[in-house]
Structure 1
């Protein structure tokens, strides 16, 4: 296993991270604030993003995950963390110290490969080797013609760019030309979904799998498939969370996540660990409570159960 995954997962082989933006703009209060400020649905409030990232780092969450959403499409209604992913990772590298920085996930076919490698290497240097690079083929067809790219051939473009990343762009550079900065250790590549590839190809060429949200029972089949093609490589997923202030509030399932108190959250995380999930990124945009309060409670009562020193 890549040493960065050992840092991410820790001695227990299971850890908890956070999906950016650390904002609750999808909650009832968040939507009300967005209407008052004239922000479209899915365009997050960025007033506290830096403070929340620093807090997550201080509290011991293992990773911050950012998304690659080049354009805001009202039909999707989600602008991610608004900032361009690599630019934002550079900023996060400067204001955090120990937390891993991941992408979930960069849309490879829309990116110019040489500049992508340079950006990847730059972030890796600026973060002192904290980058985890999740990549994907993209699912927003409207973006492709805007960028002058062909949507139907995105699978082939994805494979070509993965090769370029693995070879540090040597497959595209003439003799004597260098792309700086060099990396001292290969950045691990994780794939979101299958990226228009076969499971066998993904298992062979990628270092880990970013799986879509699901119940523990739904993850059983997915983990089984990943173990068949990827062996012991990490299996990572995301969980939307609306954490009730009452620790004993029962679990209620919602699309892509759960509502309930911290006891229910603990049970859910333990169930995910038991079926083979190794890292869970908590998504808090539906949280009816302030994000900082949720981070503090999870850090105090949940992280010590899984993040063994």
Structure 2
């Protein structure tokens, strides 16, 4: 049986790393002064902020897998290599679940992905959610010697390795250590597969950000092919100090106050979403203030 702590939480709220507001006006100004390209966050307080998120009760921390910084995409994510960073985060946090959103399987050797995931699960005391993807940045593939058009088949081949808990392809006597319980494997998007294949072979879906109405339609498809498996998405949040500020829709998220955020999350829950990761890079207020506001006024409503 798959070991999935997130599924047991009911509706929950997490954070997407980096915990920085480098996409806000002030954050961009600071980045220019520091000589950082757009999309490269300030990581000077990354340890303190993830520990704060852990103490405040956010359920999950999500990290991206971005092998190469590409100015055409303008996003270095949290900069650090995903598995290395998760191992570090496992050592400086206690309860928060640790998820990847998502490991680009066609650019990685699947047996080493399995070893890395097992290691992360062991070091974190089974807090890992392994999100995987086929990748969407064509410029990365030539450097890795991988044919972009083959990424769908490479993704299926890697999932087969990850899900083969008997490791049947190993030679007699060979083992992969550490051996850990079956951590859940979620998929970002459809990874060049059919919805039916995804629903039958993966344990959860990492859906792209959207409105509650967008998610209503996507959740209906997910329930049809995957039953009650977790449906996860993200909100790019700019939380303003006025608690009654109305919801202003922005690309991938909202600008609003605490009461508007509660309303948005209630709508997400009603649409059938199981988990929302909050992304703070557009947030104008200090990250610590916004996370504390959410912990005091929002998490108690939704975290049972």
Which residue in 2 is equivalent to 1:46? 43
How many residues are treated as equivalent by the alignment? 304
Given that 1:89 and 1:101 are in contact with CA atoms closer than 8 Å, whether structure 2 keeps it comes out as yes
Give TM-score, length-normalised by structure 1. Answer: 0.96
Q: Deviations over 1:42-97 (max 9, x none)?
A: 00101000000000000000000000000000000000000000000000000000
Which residue in 1 is equivalent to 2:303? 307
Given that 2:7 and 2:229 are in contact with CA atoms closer than 8 Å, whether structure 1 keeps it comes out as no
In the alignment, structure 1 residue 297 sits paired with structure 2 residue 297: no
| Cα distance in 1 between the residues matched to 2:7 and 2:36 | 35
**CA drift at 1:174:** 1.4
Q: Deviations over 1:188-225 (max 9, x none)?
A: 00000000000000000000000000000111110000
Q: Deviations over 1:132-156 (max 9, x none)?
A: 0000000000101101111101000
3-state SS, counterpart of residue 170 of structure 1: coil
**CA drift at 1:9:** 5.0
**CA drift at 1:168:** 4.2
Given that 2:39 and 2:76 are in contact with CA atoms closer than 8 Å, whether structure 1 keeps it comes out as yes
In the alignment, structure 1 residue 188 sits paired with structure 2 residue 189: no
| Cα distance in 1 between the residues matched to 2:111 and 2:245 | 50
Which residue in 2 is equivalent to 1:173? 170
Output aligned runs, 1:62-211, within 5 Å: 62-168=59-165, 170-183=167-180, 185-211=181-207
3-state SS, counterpart of residue 186 of structure 2: strand
**CA drift at 1:178:** 1.3
| Cα distance in 2 between the residues matched to 1:92 and 1:140 | 26
| Cα distance in 2 between the residues matched to 1:269 and 1:52 | 23
Given that 1:220 and 1:276 are in contact with CA atoms closer than 8 Å, whether structure 2 keeps it comes out as yes
| Cα distance in 2 between the residues matched to 1:272 and 1:2 | 26
3-state SS, counterpart of residue 55 of structure 2: helix
Alignment RMSD (CA, Å): 1.1
3-state SS, counterpart of residue 61 of structure 2: strand
Given that 2:3 and 2:183 are in contact with CA atoms closer than 8 Å, whether structure 1 keeps it comes out as no
Q: 1:249 is matched with which residue: 234, 237, 245?
A: 245
Given that 1:164 and 1:171 are in contact with CA atoms closer than 8 Å, whether structure 2 keeps it comes out as no
Which structure 2 segments of 5+ residues have no match?
none
Runs of 4+ in structure 1 over 6 Å off: none
In the alignment, structure 1 residue 276 sits paired with structure 2 residue 272: yes
**CA drift at 1:4:** 2.3
**CA drift at 1:122:** 0.4
